[in-house]
Amino acid sequence: MTITQKIASIIITALILIFISSTSTLPQSEKWQILETEHFIIHYTNEHKQAVSLQRVSENFYKRATDMLGTIAGKIDIWLISGRDFRATAPIQDWAVGYAYPLKRRIVIKNPSFLENSKLELARVVKHEIVHVIFGARIGKYMKNVPLWFNEGIAMYGSEEWSYGHYWLMLTYVFSKSIIPLNKLSNQFPKEKRLAQLAYAESFSAVSMIARDYGDEKLREITDLLAIGEDMDSALLFATGMNLAQFQQRWMQYLTKHYKWFSILSSSMILWGAVSLIVVWAYLRQRRLRRMKIAEWEEEESQQDEFFTE
């Protein structure tokens, strides 16, 4: 090889390395620290306190998630990333704060210091994404058979993500007869934030109806069937006796029945008076619950944890 060829080879190699570095899925940093637990490897930079909180939430939640969906091999990597790097890392909507890569057993979360109500938001997001990873890892190459509403619904149900906001959103759209049919939520959700939130709320509602009527074990059975290549129509039919069309029809009937009391408030004066009271009551109760939960976590964090004793 001539000197010219050697120089050309070195330049090409350098360019390839630069390209690989610039297109890496995760931001490069010499400051990454690792906190490893039984089921998770948490990567963070300066937010050790948040990483410890994340460890507690993740490990405490892991059993519920695997009881519902089944176990997976290997540990799950969780990356806490700054707002700027997070946006470059995760191909999702601007308002989202977490993303899961199930086949890589990886979760990417916006650093909680960038989030409002950071501790509560961190717990909510990581539980949601843990379910996504476990569910996706179990389904594997057959994820194409899973409707998006079921994928998101099982993540919301598993992470117990229902709130008064979701209830109010559903109530509003049921009353106005503007519910999005589940078959319209099979491949993608609306991009507009409020409609996307409605899609998530509907997904939770549909999955929770299965759990309520048949038990959590049916969610596990559906997951097992999907994992061996059954499509959603067949999996639902085997597990519940209803195919997709029948399930959607029953779900719509459930919504009408569940929210029918709202039709009583047809008078605008009664309606908006009741709405105001509901909103104020829900806000005050939610704020109280948040304060209690944060106080509980702060008390836990103030105690010595043997896991971190050197």
238 in any annotated domain: yes
Q: What is the pLDDT of residue 53?
A: 86
Q: What is the pLDDT of residue 280?
A: 64
Calculate the CA 84 to chain-centre distance.
Answer: 21
Cα Rg of the chain (Å, integer): 23
Q: What is the pLDDT of residue 161?
A: 82
Q: Are residues 178 and 192 in the same domain?
A: yes
Q: Are residues 151 and 116 in the same domain?
A: no
Following CA atoms 134, 139, 144, 145 in sequence, which dihedral angle do they give, to the nearest 10 degrees? -120
Q: What is the pLDDT of residue 308?
A: 30
Q: Are residues 183 and 251 in the same domain?
A: yes
98-101 and 33-36: which strand pairing? unpaired
Calculate the CA 309 to chain-centre distance.
Answer: 32
Q: Exposed (0-12), middle (13-18) or buried (19+): which is 175, by Cβ within 10 Å? A: middle
d(CA 227, CA 146): 10
Q: How distant, in Å, are the alpha carbons of 41, 55, 59, 158 from that of 38?
A: 8, 10, 8, 20
pLDDT one-digit tens code per residue, 268-306: 445 555 556 666 666 666 666 666 655 555 554 454 443
> pLDDT under 50 in the chain at which residues?
5-24, 86-88, 92, 94-95, 114, 116, 266-269, 300-301, 303-310
Q: What is the pLDDT of residue 86?
A: 45
Phi, psi dihedral angles at 219 (to 5 degrees): -65, -40
What is the domain extent for residue 153?
146-265
d(CA 207, CA 216): 10
303 in any annotated domain: no
Nearest to 289 by CA among 193, 160, 171: 160
* DSSP H or E segment with residue 41: strand 40-44
308 in any annotated domain: no
Task: Give the count of domains, the chain.
Answer: 2
